[in-house]
Each structure stands twice: as C-alpha cells, then as structure tokens.
C-alpha cells in the first residue's frame, strides 16, 4: 500500500527518537492511509486516502 494520500499528498515524515539520556536515533511517522472505494466521474475506483480527507468530506465514498 502506498504511504501517500492521493488527495492531499500527506505522507511519511521523519525525525528523531530522543531518549532520556538525549541520544538521537532516526524514526518515521506514517500517515494514517486507508484504501477506500471512491466514486469518481460515475466510476468506482480504489484510492489510498488519509483519514483526515475521509473525515472532512474531501472524498465521496462509493456505496
């Protein structure tokens, strides 16, 4: 599954884990991407969409 939203482009972000002793190791945060059946131009298509786009109504889900 893709780690990028096909609607808004939200994807993976990287940063550091910081321990109690202040050691830094690299880590990543993944966007909450779901595969959703979307109605697009009268057709039903599967898209990878973040939950923020689903919740805010930027995507019309196919029934």
- Asked if residues 55 and 7 have their Cβ atoms less than 8 Å apart, the reply is no
**16 or 62: which leads in pLDDT:** 16
**Rounded distance between C-alpha atoms, residue 23 and residue 25, angstroms:** 7
- Interval 26-44 mean pLDDT: 95
Whether residue 61 contacts residue 9, with contact meaning beta carbons closer than 8 Å, is answered with no
A 10 A CB-CB count for 59 gives: 20
pLDDT mean across residues, the chain: 95
**pTM score, two decimals?**
0.80
For residue 22, how many other CB atoms are within 10 A of its CB? 6
pLDDT for the residue numbered 28: 97
């Amino acid at each position: 599954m893709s780690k990028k939203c096909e609607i808004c482009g939200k994807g993976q972000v990287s940063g550091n884990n910081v321990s109690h002793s202040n050691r830094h190791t690299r880590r990543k945060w993944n966007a909450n991407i779901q595969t959703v059946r979307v109605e697009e131009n009268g057709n039903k298509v599967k898209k990878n969409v973040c939950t923020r786009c689903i919740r805010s109504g930027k995507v019309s889900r196919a029934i």
